[in-house]
Amino acid sequence: MTQETADEAAETNGLPKGSFRVVSKQELFEQADLLSLHVVLSERTKGIVGGEDLARLKKSAFFINCSRGALVEEEALFEVLEKGKIRGAALDVYWKEPLPKDSRWRSTKWSEDGRSDVVFSPHMGYVNIGTIHAWYVEQAENIKRWQNKEELLNVMN
């Protein structure tokens, strides 16, 4: 990402040039008040957020992961939150899904004794009424396509 690309994206979306500022990963973690991770998991991105990155977050910062658990080093995140080094985290994805009933993530008393606030959701954080509606419309379309022996939309194995 270059600043030029960021400026073009801003203008394309009706925002003034300079609305987005391109920074290094280090600067991003040091300056973010809220850091929301949206990255595809691949061999290249596995563990992309490590202990050094999390240590750069401000004590008042919030960390959100709605992408994949394996993007973040689990032990490093647990330690940062358990020690209350950041304000909190919202996790919609985990290193093992579903999150096991006996997971320390479930049994730790978050928001107590100096620990960070932690909010969990069952990998459904992206769902809203618009998404659900689009899924229903697509399913209806796929039924019509199936009846007409046409190619189906968005088929996954």
Of the candidates 27, 97, 138, 150, the residue annotated as catalytic is: 97
Query: Does 79 qualify as catalytic in the annotation?
Result: no
Of the candidates 56, 87, 115, 123, the residue annotated as catalytic is: 123
Distance between CA 112 and CA 81 in Å, rounded? 11
DSSP 100: P
Query: Does 97 qualify as catalytic in the annotation?
Result: yes
Query: Does 87 qualify as catalytic in the annotation?
Result: no
Closest residue by Cα to residue 112 from 92, 89, 79, 83 = 83
DSSP string, 20-66: S----HHHHHHH-SEEEE-----TTTTT-B-HHHHHHS-TT-EEEE-
Active-site residue set: 68, 97, 123
